[in-house]
């Protein structure tokens, strides 16, 4: 078992019956549902950006339009995560407007 401090997590993505947790340049695969972990994370620090992804707001320098109403969220670690229309409003509210 590996304990990963929540503040070191950049983002989480659904991976069937698991969640791929990205932290400190490594990824971990705990057996859990993304919705279960979402309920345990601080809602002021972590936000769902897609039905299959949650990001740590401290790891998001910016987000920008992609195509068909979707956006891309850029993370400090170099990853890019899809931001769907459904979740964009909350991210904009927490980061202070379009594009962060």
Q: Distance (Å, rounded) from C-alpha 71 to C-alpha 45?
A: 20
Q: Distance (Å, rounded) from C-alpha 60 to C-alpha 83?
A: 12
Asked if the structure places residue 90 within a domain, the reply is: yes
Give the pLDDT score at 70: 83
pLDDT cut 70: percent of the chain above it: 97
Give the pLDDT score at 98: 74
Asked if the structure places residue 100 within a domain, the reply is: no
Structure tokens at 39: 């309920």
Give the pLDDT score at 99: 67
CA-based R_g, the chain, Å: 13
Give the pLDDT score at 87: 93
DSSP the chain: -----GGGEEEEEEETTEEEEEETTEEE--S--HHHHHHHS-TTTEEEEETTEEEEGGG-SEEEE-STT-EEEE-TTS-EEEE-HHHHHHHHHHHTSTT-
Domain range spanning residue 13?
A: 6-95
Across residues 60-71, what is the average pLDDT?
A: 89
Asked if the structure places residue 38 within a domain, the reply is: yes
Asked if the structure places residue 87 within a domain, the reply is: yes
CATH of the domain at 28: 2.40.50.1020
Q: How many domains does the chain have?
A: 1
Asked if the structure places residue 69 within a domain, the reply is: yes
């Amino acid at each position: 078992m590996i304990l990963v401090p929540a503040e070191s997590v950049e983002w989480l993505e659904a991976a069937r019956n698991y969640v791929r947790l990205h932290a400190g340049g490594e990824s971990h695969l705990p057996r859990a549902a993304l919705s279960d972990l979402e309920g345990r994370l601080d809602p002021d620090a972590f936000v769902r950006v897609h039905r299959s992804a949650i990001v740590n707001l401290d790891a998001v320098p910016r987000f920008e339009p992609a195509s068909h109403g979707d956006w891309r969220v850029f993370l400090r670690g170099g990853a890019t995560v899809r931001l769907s229309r459904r979740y964009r409003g909350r991210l904009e509210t927490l980061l202070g407007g379009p594009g962060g």
